[in-house]
Copies of this chain bind each other. A is one copy, B any other.
């Protein structure tokens, strides 16, 4: 077992994420030397703050063995699959208003997905636990279609929107990543054990917490920054006015990423958070998968539902021509004189406009007058 991985495993056990000061130390001295200095307590005050409480929990070999038994590998910045480009922006995200900044020191990963590949074309689909049927349906539908377009679906495995998003992606045989606020060996919520096993089989269950770590409120906030960072864009399907999904959206915005929100009925409390995000300009309104593909820069050759509606034959007409066209009957031929009075268009103009309408197929000449079409 290599010493770098052992050092990273030790630091992952010792420091509660996010550990920004420790991260800077490791960046400068490397994980092996940093771990040694942490063990001896010979580190700057800020790093001591992040490490002293658990400094004696020197059980990296055990953790790695236990993880391996559960099918979990430790992915570190030294590995090829480390998505550095996605995680590095967390390092200075505090300046941009992200309270829980700092990249993870390592990630515990259960599943075959290679992180770097998986997140290159990805969307976080997140939202309320107490979602509505509309929200769950929309999340599953969007995730299904996105996964069908080779977009990895990142979410948090919670009840409601998160679960629906994972399920939608799995139904399309796509890749989905579940980022947990507890050890990757723990199924939380317990009712999602089968779902998480399925995610771990097809994509990956990911955590920055060592095996056995239990979920905690604080850890959900810290975890949300990882969801935001690992996805190219974040889609909030439903969210209460105060919710984890809004926290994830705020993290994505602080990281300069695309944030989208799905509207819903104004009477639905779980759409309120989405409406607030749109109104405040934090999120753009998303109603379809092409909206999302466009926002994450993954637009393919799908038809654009925002394309202008097909033109009508009357679109190019002048106001007078429109007035005249309105006055034409489809059933009874009408004389130019009558058309002038009915439309208010001068007779001379009526005589000039009728052949123009005929050319564009909007009028036909009959024996006793003109017909509209």
Contact surface of A with B, Cβ cutoff 8 Å: 14-16, 48-50, 52-54, 57, 99-100, 134, 138, 216-219, 241-242, 262-267, 271-272, 275-276, 278-279, 284-288, 306, 309, 319-320, 322-323, 325-327, 340-341, 343-347, 349-350
Contact = CB atoms under 8 A, between A and B. Distances in A.
Given A54-B341, A327-B216, A265 B134 contact: yes
Contacts of A288: 266
19 contacts: A15-B344, A16-B343, A49-B346, A53-B340, A53-B343, A53-B350, A54-B340, A54-B341, A134-B267, A216-B323, A217-B322, A218-B322, A218-B325, A218-B326, A219-B326, A263-B265, A264-B265, A264-B266, A275-B285
A266 B135 CA distance: 10
B346 A48 contact: yes
A347 B53 contact: yes
A263 B275 contact: yes
A326 B216 contact: yes
A15 B48 CA distance: 86
Give 5 closest A-B pairs by Cβ, nearest first: A16-B344, A263-B263, A53-B340, A266-B287, A216-B326
A147 B322 CA distance: 37
Given A16-B343, A16-B344, A50-B344, 4 more contacts: A52-B347, A263-B263, A266-B287, A278-B278
Contact of A16 (B100, B217, B271, B323): B323
A285 B271 CA distance: 12
Contacts of A345: 16, 53
Contacts of A54: 340-341, 344
Given A53-B347, A54-B344, A279-B284, A319 B264 contact: no
B278 A100 contact: no
Given A218-B326, A262-B266, A276 B346 contact: no
B323 A57 contact: no
Contacts of A216: 323, 326-327
Contacts of A271: 263
Contacts of A275: 263, 285, 287
Contacts of A52: 346-347
Contacts of A14: 344
Interface centre among A52, A134, A138, A284 (most CB of B within 10 A): A52
Contacts of A265: 134, 263-265
A306 B277 CA distance: 11
Contact of A267 (B57, B100, B138, B276): B138
A346 B53 contact: yes
Contacts of A320: 49
A343 B213 CA distance: 11
A9 to B, nearest CB: 16
Nearest to A132: B265
Contacts of A349: 49
A217 to B, nearest CB: 5
Contacts of A267: 134, 138
A341 B53 contact: yes
Contacts of A309: 241-242
Contacts of A327: 216
A309 B239 CA distance: 14
A346 B19 CA distance: 13
